[in-house]
Chain A
Amino acid sequence: MNEVILELDSVVKRFGDNEVLRGISLNLHRHEVVCLIGASGSGKSTLLRCVNLLETIDGGSITLFGQSLTDVRIDPDKVRRHTGMVFQSFNLFPHLTVLENVLAGPVRALKRKRSDVYDEAMQLLDRIGLRERSDEYPDRLSGGQQQRVAIVRSLSMRPALLLLDEVTSALDPSLVGEVLDLLRDLARNGTTMLIATHEMNFARDVAQQVVYLDGGVLVEKGTPEEIFSNPQHESTRLFLERVR
């Protein structure tokens, strides 16, 4: 197995009195795909946001490439430049063209010259078949196309780790496939991913590790085979029955 790049140790997150993460521990290896499953409100999204420092944790520790993210000397912007995040609601920048969206990270965050990163951005768009639409604005694209652009926008930063937060949940059922195909493609190429998802078949296909969360507690984790075919806990069994 490859080296551990992300280490969560008893992570706790509260919103006021509401404890949404109750001591989550989890390791993620390089080139590994881990899928987080669980009902809405189980803490999947919050966990991803904590890794990306969009939320600060109230207990435990998160270690990324051997550096504790709770250390006050950590620059959150630098952490985020190496951990791409894709959201349920795409969040493409509506005032920028598709190409400008993809260039935003390298040019505005890394301060690289536009001409130096242009080719790479076009290659990424080529990969998702949207090279011809690079000059259009996001609202001219379908939901599936927008989400693929959002994924590629994250990839433009060459992140060491990609966090995906229910990226197909806002899509028409007919558009889910094209987005999942792109993720499968990324997984095959060894992209390290932490994926919150409701797509069980997809999780079974791509994940090396599946983690079931319930009410902010990590109930069970294991290989897809273990979780889907032989769940050990009653609540996991019930959840899987409900979503099936």
Chain B
Amino acid sequence: MVNETDARLSEEAPSFFAPRRKQLLLGRRAIVASTLSTVLIIGGLFAVFLLAPGGATVRHFFFNPHDMWQSFVGDHRDALSSVGLGLLTNIWVFLIAEVFVLTFGLAIAWTRMTKSPVLMPFRILAIIYSDIFRGIPVLLVFLLIGFGVPALQISFISNQSLAVYGCVSLILTYSAYVAEVFRAGIYSVPHGQLLAARSLGLTNATTMRRVILPQAVRTVVPPLLNDFISLQKDTALLSILGVIEAVQAGTIYQDLRFNSSGLVVASLLFLAMTIPLTRFTDSLIARDRNRRLAST
């Protein structure tokens, strides 16, 4: 005999159908729903931009095709810098900084993790360095290096162009971040790998170089690329030192022609530079994720 309070199983056959409203989002209707919502949201945003009280003014001052073209090519007779040429400065600063950041970042991470007694002072310096340059806003690093180092009046070191000081500021700041990324990667390698390598008689340095780092680098590629996207954008800070790069050129155009389209051009150029790297990074992350899902 079944006691009412003890019976845990329902006698009734359950119904699995979704409620009416939820049914609109199921099956093939999901495509309709997603298209509709996309059109509505994007269209809505565009409508706000077109119909805003100041919409026409914004279009004239920021999206004027004539001014956009003029600021892109510049006009040297009129002391009007070209945003397009300015971007070349951003690009070379980025490329040079990237090489140094990778090298220094790895060196700092390595120094912080070695146990060699001789390297003790370097280990302390590496920790202080990381703390300082992760703690000071990049903008301040630019100002301190850009105006401070020339004031030191040391030959060669104090006689560089402002773009070089900007590049150095970026290297100093980003090396500290990238060192942390490398360190996280090194810690992510299972401890058994270290044990296996050391028990074979590999020295600490060989273990690091041949066993730990190759595995660590693979895991940190996506976060490293993220830092590089950020580094690409931060080259815009060169403008505060007065270096004529893309943003500064846009600002000059704005000052002389009372039109901000040059800044929009600079934004578009930055996007052209960062979006390939962003997409590449995302695809790497997706690939890595798929591989890990497949292997478990």
Contacts and interface: CB of A to CB of B under 8 A. Distances in A.
Interface string B23-40: 000000000000000000
A108 interface: yes
B199 A84 contact: yes
Contacts of B215: 93-95
B193 interface: yes
A157 B200 CA distance: 8
A168 to B, nearest CB: 16
A91 B193 contact: yes
A89 interface: yes
In this complex, the member of B193, B202, B218 whose beta carbon has the largest number of chain A beta carbons within 10 angstroms is B202
Contacts of A157: 200-201
A148 interface: no
A78 interface: yes
Contact of B192 (A87, A109, A139): A87
Interface string A137-155: 0010000000000100110
Interface in A69-98: 76-78, 80-81, 83-85, 87, 89, 91-95
Given A91-B192, A93-B193, A80 B206 contact: no
A80 B210 contact: no
A105 interface: yes
Given A87-B192, A108-B206, A109-B206, A93 B211 contact: yes
B65 interface: no
B103 interface: no
A110 interface: yes
A54 interface: yes
B200 A154 contact: yes
Contact of B201 (A87, A89, A110): A110
A104 B196 CA distance: 11
B153 interface: no
Given A91-B193, A91-B195, A95-B218, A139 B295 contact: yes
A124 B196 CA distance: 18
A157 B190 CA distance: 23
Given A93-B211, A94-B215, A95-B218, A81 B195 contact: no
Interface residues of A, number: 27
B160 interface: no
B202 A108 contact: yes
A197 interface: no
B202 A104 contact: yes
A91 B190 CA distance: 9
A123 B193 CA distance: 25
A104 B211 CA distance: 10
Contact of A109 (B190, B193, B200, B214): B200
A85 B198 CA distance: 10
B283 interface: no
A108 B200 CA distance: 9
A61 interface: no
A105 B214 contact: no
Contacts of A81: 200-201
A139 B295 CA distance: 8
A81 B200 CA distance: 6
B203 interface: yes
A91 B212 CA distance: 12
Contact of B199 (A52, A93, A94): A52
Contacts of B199: 52, 54, 80, 83-85, 154
In this complex, the member of A52, A95, A154 whose beta carbon has the largest number of chain B beta carbons within 10 angstroms is A95
Nearest to A109: B201
A194 B237 CA distance: 63
Interface string A110-132: 10000000000000000000000
Interface of A: 52, 54, 76-78, 80-81, 83-85, 87, 89, 91-95, 104-105, 108-110, 139, 150, 153-154, 157
Interface of B: 190, 192-193, 195-203, 206, 210-211, 214-215, 218, 295
